Amino acid sequence: MLTIATANVNGIRAAFRRGMHDWISRRSPDVLLLQEVRAPDALVRDYLEGWHVAHLPSELKGRAGVAVASRLPLAAVRGGLGAADGGAEPAVDTGRWLEADLTLPDGGMLTVVSAYLHSGSTNPGQEHTMAAKYAHLDKVTGRLTELASGPVPALVAGDLNIAHREVDIANFQGNRKSAGFLPEERAYVDRWLGAGWTDLGRAHGGDGPGPYTWWTWRGKAYENDRGWRIDYQLANTALADRAVKVEVDRAPTYDERWSDHAAVVATYALPL
């Protein structure tokens, strides 16, 4: 079996201070896909000592940052999604997409992607953030199309900042005009699933509502389970049927949380 966990850590320093190290020791994943790392490379590698680590920080200090930590060797690493014209990636897009090819025990390959997509905002004066989000989603769609059709098992996982359906957000009626639940955003997920990707969280999580993966720190949202399902593991056709268990690892209590997100943990049957 191969266990892969994805988690938005909401700052790796804070996550480890709150108990993430103990969680890793208890769950013992083979691969960790981390988002919103928000730390320099040397510090990330210190926290993940003993792992094979690939880390892609953001050019914007204190923002984004994604990492792959693996017990399996990294055969290749690719960071970012360049502009279609070959130009430089916009600074706001950096630290959001990191691919790694892992060498499996039987010598085969598995491509994993740690993805942290834009959140965006519909607040007045923030229209530019949605324009940046849609531009990035277009590039993500292009890369997903390539990975979906390849023979290599591929997993794209992370904080996609989109609740796909009404069952993926507790207060869907009050958020129809909110970033993360706009029809235009949700249509991208429709397109990805139609192109051969499987949403393993929904496939193994039942019809819903939930299970949610993000809750605000404020108020009683966590205790009342008023959250959003915005963290995913998406598998291409070559991988999807090897998933045997997928769960949201929700902390038992508010005080035991080490992030405002819960990890999504999947177990895959080997060989792939």
Q: What is the pLDDT of residues 77-120, one digit of tens each?
A: 999 998 766 678 999 999 999 999 999 999 999 999 999 999 99
Q: What is the value of pTM for the model shown?
A: 0.97
Task: Please list the ranges in the chain whose pLDDT falls under 50.
Answer: none
Whole-number Cα distances in Å, 97 to 16, 20, 159, 242, 270: 22, 22, 11, 24, 26
pLDDT attached to residue 121: 95
- Spell out the alpha helix ranges (H) of the chain: 12-18, 20-27, 41-47, 127-149, 183-194, 200-205, 237-240
Domain ranges (residues) in the chain: 2-268
CATH hierarchy code of domain 2-268: 3.60.10.10
pLDDT attached to residue 79: 97
pLDDT attached to residue 84: 67
